[in-house]
Amino acid sequence: MIKHQISAEEKTIEIYYCFALEKPKLSKTIEEDDWVWEISKFSGPLSNSFHGLFSLIKIIDESDYYGVAHFDGSVAIYNEKGQRISKYQVAEDSSIRAVRIIPSVAPGDENCYYVITGSNDETIRIDSLRLGKNIRFEPRLLGKG
């Protein structure tokens, strides 16, 4: 009260507070080949053809997946169990600083996502990620500067 010059004669004093959050608990770890710059979560339905490729992995619709941006210029895709299902090189001589993965809204593209990356060499790149019997990345757009 002295610090804020509030008189002790006040009848009502408003006190603002917030609850402290608990320290995060480690639930799982994933070993990576390279330094990780960013992790981005994405969700979406996957077709049944994806089940056959990874018979040991139980994948259900609306599962959570993660895109991981690496300092070596690559992006890796992990499933909700922390298993890497794909990795591809985006930039040859630069680190990937940001990654976002969004589902395609085009009719018939239920298994297509757009991987948007930004790297240290001032490039933004959009690739399509197609899931199915074969996982494919296809370059779509490259912006520089």
Q: 65-86, pLDDT tens digit by residue?
A: 888 999 998 999 887 788 888 8
Q: Of all residues in the chain, what percent carry a pLDDT higher than 90?
A: 8
Q: 89-122, pLDDT tens digit by residue?
A: 888 888 888 899 888 888 877 778 888 999 988 8
Residue (of 106, 100, 113) closest to 45 by Cα position: 113
Which domains does the chain show, CATH number per domain? 36-144 (2.40.10.480)
Q: 30-48, pLDDT tens digit by residue?
A: 777 788 888 888 765 443 3
* Helices and strands of the chain, counted as H and E runs: 1, 8
Which strands, in side-by-side order, build the sheet including 112-119? Answer: 96-103, 112-119, 123-130, 136-144
Please state whether the predicted TM-score (pTM) of the whole model is above 0.75: no
